[in-house]
Chains A and B, each alone.
Chain A
Amino acid sequence: MGEFIMEKDLYILGIESSCDETAASIVKNGHEIVSNVVASQIESHKRFGGVVPEIASRHHVEQVTIVIEEALLQANMKPEDLDAVCVTEGPGLVGALLIGINAAKAFAFANNLPLVGVHHIAGHIYANALIQPMEFPLLALVVSGGHTELVLMKNDGCFELIGETRDDAAGEAYDKVARVLNIPYPGGPKIDQLAHESDGAVDFPRVWLDHDSYDFSFSGLKSAVINYKHNADQRGEEINPMHVAKGFQDSVVEVLTAKTLRAAREFNVKQVIAAGGVSANKGLRTALEEAFEKEGIPFYVPPLKLCTDNAAMIAAAGSSMFKAGKRSDLTLNGRPGLELVSWNK
């Protein structure tokens, strides 16, 4: 009789505090969510029209032990049932990152657990591993308030940046246009809704940059929207916010979709995924779904609660890093400008 070796299950605690969500989650074997707790501060920041770093840090201190305890309670687990603690190391707001990191370090030390620092964007990409197995080569479109990137993954834990924004992130452009239209923070979902309901669109430019470039630029589009509003004001005319929202969103979505499609063809990928807060945008999701269905390449986008910041995605990416032997020590620090580095070849 042959020997039967069972691989032991891997339970990872993830902690995330890079912006305005304090989150903890336990993930089994890198793909199964056992618990996923998010304490959002969005209500608290609304009155300021955006995330205030000092306020965010203060809320993280209030929430951090509560969310970790809740993640353990919901999983019906004790610290000794865990194999490692993974925490967002960067990028993000430094004061906010420090809370999750120091809580993770203290927890790992007290319970004698290994510690792994995780890149926030790797987390957003690995949110997809919680939905279906990732197949390589894979192309990831990462769109959020701070990022607009096309990342090629030839293998698990292996990242190649093939395009990025040269100025504003897509989410940043949404926030700024929302301000022009007097839409309260957070304006992205509202612009998406207005665009969806609109019966017409203002014709704004598409910025393609060099014909073979996978980079993005949204500052010109943002200026075009501001100028459009300004010119209307000068003439004493009212603008139609729905038409502006749709015109703006059409431009963003068309450029993002076309470049993602072109890259997917060039690199002959098996899977395309969208990740990050802006991938919750309905207009973008629909356009990408239609384009890749026609192309015959599987396209996935995580459900809403895994698109926005969460700790399950950190635990998922951290599981792959842990298996690759990556470890952090107690000097782990918040790194607001951390670059995405491959942990596998």
Chain B
Amino acid sequence: MIWLGIDTANSPLAVAIVKDGQILTAEVTNIKVNHSAGVMPAIEHIFKKVSISPKEIDAIAVSQGPGSYTGVRIGVTIAKTLSWTLQKPLVGVSSLQVLAANAAMFQGIICSLIDARRQNVYAAAYDSTMGLAPIVEDGHYSMLGLLEQLKEIGKPVLFVGHDVDNFWGLIQQELGNSAIRAPYALDLPSAAQLIHLAEQQELPSIDATHTFVPKYCRLAEAEANWLKEQKGKQ
């Protein structure tokens, strides 16, 4: 069984091809480049490198969000189009779970986060002793609100993700010694990790591809404002 994995939910670009539980190739790049230009060339490159044609793959895994709206959409658009035209099933995985899975050997609570600007984050916390069961669901949180929730758990928390550094001072200030920083080598999403998580889900039918959408974890600003206005009118 051959899998293609794509994670472009944030500034890193991760792609991989896995065959029967073995990584054939896995690449990750973390420079500020435009995903729209870069993702398809990266995918073409890894197919060439391992001498596999697109028609030979059996399934596609994609990081479904949350993260950069545009980044998530580019990955999902490419994954959907490949899935539909090649008639191979498409599996979505949380971009935050992909990051947390990097640190799954840690016994305890793992918090993965992505900077959403203005002191907000997309974040989740998982219990690795229970198969990465979510303790804090994927969501858009104020950084302080997130730290409050983590404080209440009263256990050491491992933080993972390349945006953790933006908040590390505040995290230490709020959680003290309970906060543990994962080594930077675990900070970037791995498309092989993404495929590994996707393999644990049931394969959806091909018909589900057309209705596959990103998980933004947040309303578009105009829609949020509109809803507020409607409430005000009542």
**Chain A residues with a Cβ under 8 A of chain B:** 47-48, 52, 54-55, 57-58, 61-62, 64-66, 68-69, 79, 95, 98-99, 101-103, 105-107, 109-111, 329-334
Nearest-CB residue, chain B, relative to A103: B81
Task: For the complex, give the distance between the alpha carbons of A47 and B82 in Å.
Answer: 34
Q: For the A-B complex with A61-B214, A102-B40 known, give 11 more contacts whose Cβ atoms are closer than 8 Å.
A: A52-B220, A55-B222, A57-B73, A58-B73, A65-B80, A68-B84, A69-B84, A69-B210, A103-B80, A106-B81, A107-B85
Question: Which residues on A sit within 8 Å (CB–CB) of B210?
Answer: 65-66, 69
Q: Give min CB distance, A47 to chain B, whole Å.
A: 6
Q: Would you list which residues of chain B between 212 and 234 have a CB under 8 Å from chain A?
A: 213-214, 216, 220-223, 226
Question: What is the interface size of chain B, counting residues whose CB is below 8 A from a CB of the partner?
Answer: 35
Question: Which residues on A sit within 8 Å (CB–CB) of B223?
Answer: 52, 55
Q: Does the CB pair A57–B36 fall under 8 Å?
A: no
Q: Would you list which residues of chain B between 58 and 72 have a CB under 8 Å from chain A?
A: 69-70
Q: Does the CB pair B69–A54 fall under 8 Å?
A: yes
In the complex, whether B150 has a CB less than 8 A from a CB of chain A is no
> What does DSSP make chain A's interface, helix, strand, loop or mixed?
helix
Contact for A99 among B73, B211, B216, CB less than 8 A: B73
Nearest-CB residue, chain B, relative to A62: B213
Task: For the complex, give the distance between the alpha carbons of A103 and B211 in Å.
Answer: 15
Question: Which residues on A sit within 8 Å (CB–CB) of B76?
Answer: 61
Given contacts A106-B85, A110-B81, whether A333 and B37 have CB atoms under 8 Å apart is yes
Q: Does the CB pair A57–B44 fall under 8 Å?
A: no
Q: Does the CB pair A111–B85 fall under 8 Å?
A: yes
Q: Give min CB distance, B18 to chain A, whole Å.
A: 19
Given contacts A65-B209, A330-B44, whether A48 and B81 have CB atoms under 8 Å apart is no
Contact for A98 among B41, B73, B82, B213, CB less than 8 A: B73
Q: Does the CB pair A98–B70 fall under 8 Å?
A: yes
Task: For the complex, give the distance between the alpha carbons of A149 and B41 in Å.
Answer: 36
Q: Give min CB distance, B68 to chain A, whole Å.
A: 11
Nearest-CB residue, chain B, relative to A66: B210
Nearest-CB residue, chain B, relative to A63: B210
Given contacts A57-B69, A61-B77, A98-B36, whether A110 and B221 have CB atoms under 8 Å apart is no
> What does DSSP make chain B's interface, helix, strand, loop or mixed?
helix
Q: Does the CB pair A47–B77 fall under 8 Å?
A: no
Question: Which residues on B sit within 8 Å (CB–CB) of A109?
Answer: 40, 43-44, 54, 82
Task: For the complex, give the distance between the alpha carbons of A334 and B221 in Å.
Answer: 23
Given contacts A47-B226, A57-B69, A61-B214, whether A106 and B36 have CB atoms under 8 Å apart is no
In the complex, whether B166 has a CB less than 8 A from a CB of chain A is no
Task: For the complex, give the distance between the alpha carbons of A65 and B220 in Å.
Answer: 22
Task: For the complex, give the distance between the alpha carbons of A102 and B39 in Å.
Answer: 9
Contact for A330 among B40, B85, B221, CB less than 8 A: B40
Contact for A110 among B37, B77, B85, B226, CB less than 8 A: B85
In the complex, whether B34 has a CB less than 8 A from a CB of chain A is yes
Task: For the complex, give the distance between the alpha carbons of A57 and B54 in Å.
Answer: 27
Q: Does the CB pair B81–A102 fall under 8 Å?
A: yes
Given contacts A48-B226, A64-B77, A99-B73, whether A110 and B82 have CB atoms under 8 Å apart is yes
In the complex, whether B116 has a CB less than 8 A from a CB of chain A is no
Task: For the complex, give the distance between the alpha carbons of A61 and B71 in Å.
Answer: 12
Most buried by A among B43, B84, B211, B214: B84
In the complex, whether B135 has a CB less than 8 A from a CB of chain A is no
In the complex, whether B74 has a CB less than 8 A from a CB of chain A is yes
Question: Which residues on B sit within 8 Å (CB–CB) of A107?
Answer: 81, 85
Q: Does the CB pair B222–A48 fall under 8 Å?
A: yes
Task: For the complex, give the distance between the alpha carbons of A13 and B136 in Å.
Answer: 45
Q: Does the CB pair B36–A102 fall under 8 Å?
A: yes
